[in-house]
Amino acid sequence: MTGGMSGLSDMDDLYEAIILDHYRSPRNTAPVEEPDIDLDVNNPFCGDEFHIQLKVDDDAVSQVGITGRGCAISQASASLLAELVKGKSTDDVHTAVDLIRRLLKGEELTDEEADVLGDIEALAGVRKFPVRIKCALLSWIGLDDALKEFSSTK
């Protein structure tokens, strides 16, 4: 972790290096051709918004593209999400989204569960800043809901 400036070092838990890295260079932002899922999610209160595109083959996410604008937490979280879902089965994605929800609610995860999340555990720092939890969760919940709907209409 990089030490923050004098008055702001308490924010280091929120803005871990990995979060800032994903914020500055979000991954998987290229548009997906002929996506199976193409949705916009936004939180008008914060002004966070995303465009999420997924291609699903044999019940697994084969391609993902997420772009958006908003705060560092929401954008980094979406980039981490994009990295995670690529190549995962829809069931694995639901499991990961449940884990993230539990993590941000303040539950302790087992070592195996933490392994599933990997880098994404860096988002846990948001727990100290409850008003920012929705920033972290927005893209996750949007994607999860869309994927559930997609699976059920197939």
Partner 1 sequence: MNNTYSETAPAAGTRKFDVESIRSDFPILARKINGRNLIYLDNAATSQKPRQVIKSLTDYYEQTNANVHRGVHTLSIEATDEYELARSKVANFINAPRPEEVIWTRNTSESLNLVAATWAEQNVGEGDNIVITAMEHHSNIVPWQQLAARKKAELRYLAAGEDGLLDISNLESIVDSRTRLVAMTHMSNVLGTVNPVRELADRAHAVGAVILVDAAQSVPHMPVDVRSLDVDFLCFSAHKMLGPTGIGVLWGRYDLLEEMPPYMFGGDMILEVTYEDANWNKLPYKFEAGTPNIADAIATGAAVDYLNDLGMDNVWLHEQELTVYAMEKFSALNEVKILGPKDPTLRGGVVSFIHETIHPHDLGTALDQQGIAIRTGHHCAMPLIRSFDVVAAARASFYIYNTKSEIDALVNGIRETEGYFSR
Which residues contribute to the site for partner 1 (CB under 8 A)? 2, 4-8, 10-11, 14-15, 20, 42, 44-49, 69-73, 129, 132, 135
> Counting beta carbons within 10 angstroms of the beta carbon of residue 8, is it exposed (0 to 12), middle (13 to 18) or buried (19 or more)?
exposed
* CB 32, min distance to partner 1, A: 24
* CB 7, min distance to partner 1, A: 5
* CB 26, min distance to partner 1, A: 14
In terms of CB distance, is 48 or 121 closer to partner 1?
A: 48
In terms of CB distance, is 94 or 134 closer to partner 1?
A: 134
In terms of CB distance, is 13 or 83 closer to partner 1?
A: 13
Tokens encoding 24: 């500055």
The span from the CA of 108 to the CA of 43, in Å, is: 27
* CB 72, min distance to partner 1, A: 5
